[in-house]
Structure 1
Amino acid sequence: MRGKYRIPIRIRHYWRFLVGCLAFLLVLTVTLSSVPVRPYVTSTSDTGGDVVTHDIAGTVDLFDETVAHRIELVFRDADYERMLDAFYAEGEKEYIEADLVIDGTTIPSVGIRLKGNSTLRSLSRNGETPQRSGGPAGADGQPRPDGQTRPDGQTRPDGQTRTDGQAGRAGRTDGGAFSQTSLKAEEPETLPWLIRFDEFVDGRRYQGHREIAVRVGGMGGGSTVLNEAVTLNLLAAAGEVAQEYAYTSFTVNDRPTTARLIVEHPDEHFAEDFDGAGVLYKSLATSQFTDQGDDQTAYADDFKQITMKGSQDLQPVIDLIRWVDTASDAEFDEQLADRIDVESFARYAAWQNLLLNFDDMAGPGRNYYLWYDLATKRFTVIGWDYNLAFSGSATQGPHEQGRLGGGFRAGGVAGAPAAEPPAGFTPPDPDDTLPDGNADPGGNGAPGGNGAPGGGDGGPGGNGHLLKERFLASATFKQVYEDAYRDLYQRLFADGAALAAVDATAEMLSTVDGSDAGTTSADAESLRTLIRQRTESLASNEVISRS
């Protein structure tokens, strides 16, 4: 009994109460450990976002596309090798620290990482590509080092001929450049990069931008990515919300200087292009646009909220998905304008068709943003990632949906039959993949490839989006879509804006250190040919000729 006096007197007096509290905590722990915690935002504030403490002004507007810019990156080789180790072992795209100089302005300790998904499947290191299932090694999910035999007996080393006599990439005979760039870790100046200004220094921006993307050459625009630059030029000239862009010389450590396209990465700064208060949501490549219940965490692989985090949430998007999925045809026609800016959406759909951009909201990359206006309670669909624009068939009609390499299917309805490709067209190899997208982009053999609504039945990676399909299939909205199509055709092709944009962009690129005059000239002429063919083909289409 003498031992009890070693216990403080306060504890001896209140031991029953303390034991009761401990028992209660134990019960709570056991009971709540199996209950999922669902984050909901009850605030209706129209403010939000990270705090910016240092916005670097620089000396030249970074996205002045009329200026030849200069970017220099310096990082430690050991850090770069560790980044590659992580990517090859786990598929992780980790940031490393680098010192950056933009147009003469030094910015120390920025974060840089590899950018892209399927783009990086061609990334080799010491002659080998990543060895992991489902990673960049191969579209079929099997490890595939350079030179390894595919299941069909064809080999896929860089540039090696396949057993059917074709090169290991898709070919194009209808005017546009069409290839997939092979990347080498030993040439970091050619890789796709994401540069983040606040990764290692909180609150820092450069001219309001948190991130910028350094694009890689490849499908659609050759090594110069002229197709994306021309597309962004045309969108901006027409008053559409679009990413800013510019060409720059690009030097990494002591490697040779190359000419690269840099593009604004849609973040909080991108939302400033919209009038009024609203919320910006990004569709992810794994998005299905299908109802997955009320738990917002269930949509984590579908949409990412960009702005108003902490004051707004994903509920408006969930409500839209549910309504599109359940509304009758009559309800869809009568009530869509209450939920979507219909005129803007008609222009969006017309732009994607006219520009032959099959990898839009209905494509394998699910490339679009949603802007939710807090005043009108309506959404606007915003396009982005146009590195595959001008990659289809010049003969694609206003009511035909494009596919990779020029094939297309009639109408906006899921499961519509595929149209015949142009004469002489060489179809893409099924093993070829998209930059920032998924394998088998044409839908041939891929789940949901025939346009499963919203990608829900076919799963991520297939083509189709229920909202776009229902809109284009509706007789009620046919007129507004065709009116938008005729107007944009006149401004884009008939009035010569597209050809003028190619000329201006190619001329600008030729002044950038590291550019190759021959390559620029060839890519520009290829794009001009496709634009001329498209202009001529659509001129006789009844949608265009109808007065």
Structure 2
Amino acid sequence: MRPVRPRLVALATAATLALGGCAAVSDTSDTSGVAPATRQVADGEGVWDADTVHDIAVEVDEDAVAAMVDTYQETGEKQWIEATVTIDGETFERAGLRLKGNSSLRGVSDDAEPTDLPWLVRLDEYVDGQSLDGSSELIVRSNSSETALNEAVALDLLAEAGLASEHAVASSFSVNGADPRLRLVVQNLDEDWEAENFAGDGLLYKAEAGGDWSYRGDDPDSYTDVFDQETGDDDLTPLIDFLDFLNNSSDEEFAAELPDHLDVASFARYLAFEELVDNFDDIDGPGNNSYLRYDADTGGFTVVAWDHNLAFGGAPGGGGGFPRGGDGERPTDLPTDLPSGMPSGMPTDMPSGMPGGERPEGGPGGGPGGGGGMGGRSNVLVERFAAVEEWADLVDQAKADLTAELYDSGYAEEVLDRWAGVLTEQAGDLVDADTVQEEADAIRSSIAG
């Protein structure tokens, strides 16, 4: 039986303990406006039992899929369609199915194999209350590796780091009777996830891939294409007020008042974590990947991590730590004339690893922040946070602490071995053992530094 894996919550007090010895932490954590649940979320059971490769079969009208793909190609809209979904032998009629992702959908065509596409499955989209083991939403993830070990391991480490994470399981996934593929399935960040990770009422906002963190005035309609509200009654006021503060406060006001608006210790730990696992596509990466969770009781925000399929040096289309293809080589025909940086309003879901502008000085890759890489873009919170010396020091201390806790302790290798063992023992019909070993060794090298 796999050992219990703590699903810790991102809370200032836990981060304070983990960042012990840094005087700045006590100052910021005392005034942080965020105090999520202190309980642990244990390893998943049932559909989220990570000791098992789960069987997921989808039956859906092929014409409906084709129409959905056409709509996405023409408008970018991701429409829901009905499907019959069978998970580990339990069948759900009239479940909802729609495309999920941004860069993972780049170049999607009418002849795309549905079994290979990224999906959001919502069991209760058309039937109220329909769920499995308390969950109604599952995301079938894309990954440039054959095993998706990089994201699976990163999510486990994220939880061990004391930051809000999501359940993940390996699956044998197929659509309309096609040969199944090995796909990582993760928990969607919805009401069920929020209740598992945070205590009290709150609101969850997702940054859109094509958006930014600019202040656009107090009209909620101005933020339609830049943030989505995922939980709670529709209310963008807390988000708008926060963006106003981030963009319009003076340097003195920002340094003095940010702890009233944001869990500073947790954010420092988040930035350190993303750098530690070399996740280029984080809060200021090309995908703008992040959530903001507002605590209605304290009036503060927590930054929530999202999207780790590029962790440990992964890159769409191969390369990074995850070679693909017969020779295992990275593609050599990538364009080399991309402009430096990503201007506001330009597409931001370029495949990671393509040449482009360097990340801003002081941002991830060059200081506090996520994994290094090219093609990232600026984020006002990251830039201003890194410019405050005591908070930059927090990130440095957090990275040192996390290195000791996750890597030097041997925990990361234990997690990697558990995940690789599940695939080797149960997914031999989906991926050969040599591939599992090769991709596990690539991650192991990254962990070893």
Kept in 2: contact 1:493–1:531 (CA 8 A): yes
CA distance in 1, matches of 2:335, 2:55: 38
Aligned to 1:277: 201
Deviation at 1:122, TM superposition (A): 3.8
Is the CA contact 2:103–2:351 (under 8 Å) kept in the aligned structure 1? no
Cα deviation, 1:496-532, whole Å, max 9, x if unaligned, reads 2222221111111221352332322221112212222
Residue of structure 2 in register with 1:520 after alignment: 436
- 2:362–2:387 Cα contact (<8 Å) kept: no
Matched, 1:491 2:405: yes
Is the Cα–Cα contact under 8 Å of residues 116 and 192 in structure 1 kept in the other structure? yes
SS in 2 for 1:66: coil
TM-score (normalizing by structure 1): 0.63
* Residue 103 of structure 2: aligned partner: 118
Q: Which has the larger radius of gyration?
A: 1
Paired residue type of 1:216: S
Q: How does 1:10-159 map to 2 (within 5 A)?
A: 61-126=46-111
Give 2:377's aligned residue: 463
Which residue identity is paired with 2:66?
Answer: E
| 1:494 to 1:339, Cα distance in 2 relative to 1, 3 A | same
Aligned partners of 2:158 and 2:164 also within 8 Å: yes
Paired AA for residue 173 in structure 2: F
**Secondary structure of the equivalent of 2:390?**
coil
TM-superposed CA distance for 1:314, in Å, is: 1.1
- Aligned mates of 2:180, 2:434 — CA distance in 1: 17
Pair 1:299 & 2:219 matched: no
Q: Distance in 1 between matches of 2:93 and 2:255?
A: 54
State the aligned residue count. Answer: 375
Task: Report the counterpart of residue 191 of structure 1 in structure 2.
Answer: 117
**2-structure distance, mates of 1:277, 1:90:** 35
Q: Following TM superposition, by how much is the alpha carbon of 1:388 offset from its aligned partner in structure 2, in angstroms?
A: 1.0
Partner of residue 330, structure 1: 252
Q: Which runs of 5 or more residues in structure 2 are unaligned?
A: 1-43, 322-329, 339-346, 364-374
Q: Contact (CA 8 Å) 1:285, 1:365: kept in 2 or not?
A: yes
1:85-109 per-residue CA deviation (whole Å, 9 max, x = no partner) reads 4344444433222111111111111
Distance of 1:367 and 1:471 partners within structure 2: 17
Give CA-to-partner distance per residue, 1:468-513, whole Å, 9 cap, x none: 1111221122332222221111012111222222111111122135
1:473 aligns with 2:387: yes
Cα deviation, 1:379-421, whole Å, max 9, x if unaligned, reads 111101111111179xxxxxxxxxx969xxxxxxxxxxxxxxx
Q: 1:244 maps to which residue?
A: 167
Q: 5+ unaligned residues in a row in structure 1: which ranges? A: 1-58, 127-184, 394-403, 407-424, 454-460, 535-547
Deviation at 1:195, TM superposition (A): 0.9
Distance 1:85 1:321 in 2: 35
Q: For 1:31-79, what per-residue CA distance to the aligned partner results, in whole angstroms no more than 9, with x for missing partners?
A: xxxxxxxxxxxxxxxxxxxxxxxxxxxx961111112211111123333
Describe the superposition over 1:407-447 as per-residue Cα deviations: whole angstroms up to 9, x where unpaired. xxxxxxxxxxxxxxxxxx999934799xx96126568557x
- Aligned-residue RMSD, C-alpha: 3.1
Tell whether the 8 Å contact from 1:213 to 1:265 is kept in structure 2 after alignment: yes
Does the Cα contact within 8 Å between 1:452 and 1:463 map onto a contact in 2?
Answer: no
The residue type paired with residue 169 of structure 2 is: A
- Identity rate of aligned residues, in percent? 40
| Structure 1 contact 251–258 (Cα < 8 Å) conserved | yes
Which residue of the other structure, out of 206, 224, 230, is the alignment partner of 2:132? 206
- Deviations along 1:249-279, one digit per CA (max 9) or x if unpaired, are 1132221122211011111112111122221
- Provide the C-alpha distance between the structure 1 equivalents of 2:337 and 2:104, rounded to a whole number of angstroms: 10
**Separation (CA, whole Å) in 2 of partners of 1:265 and 1:437:** 22
Deviation at 1:452, TM superposition (A): 12
Query: Are the counterparts in 2 of residues 432 and 439 from structure 1 also a CA contact under 8 Å?
Result: no
Please tell me whether the aligned partners of residues 173 and 183 of structure 2 are also in contact (alpha carbons under 8 angstroms). yes
Distance 1:321 1:354 in 2: 27
Separation in 1, partners of 2:291, 2:435: 33
In 1: Cα distance, 2:93 partner to 2:348 partner:
32
SS at structure 1 position matched to 2:301: strand
Deviations 1:171-195 (A, max 9, x none): xxxxxxxxxxxxxx2x322221111
- For 2:152 and 2:266, the matched residues in 1 are separated by 22
CA deviation vs aligned residue, 1:302-341 (integer Å, no higher than 9, x gap): 211122214xx11111111111222222222211111111
SS at match of 1:206: coil
Whether 1:255 aligns to 2:171 is: no
Rounded to whole Å, the distance in 2 between the matches of 1:492 and 1:449 is 26
2:298 is paired with a residue whose SS is coil
Alpha-carbon separation, structure 2, partners of 1:367 and 1:523 = 24
Give 2:228's aligned amino acid: K
1:375 aligns with 2:297: yes
Instruction: Determine which of 507, 513, 521 is the counterpart of 2:421.
Output: 507
SS of the equivalent of 1:360 reads: coil
> In the TM superposition, what whole-angstrom CA distance separates every residue of 1:214-269 from its partner, at most 9, and x where no partner exists?
11221xxx121111000011122333210111011113222112221101111111
Equivalent-residue separation in structure 1 for 2:320 and 2:434 (angstroms): 24
Distance in structure 2 (CA, Å) of the matches to 1:83 and 1:478? 45
Looking at structure 2, the residues matched to 442 and 290 of structure 1 have their Cα atoms a distance apart, in angstroms, of 26
Tell me how far apart the structure 1 counterparts of residues 354 and 441 of structure 2 sit (CA, whole Å). 29
Number of the residue aligned with 2:16: none
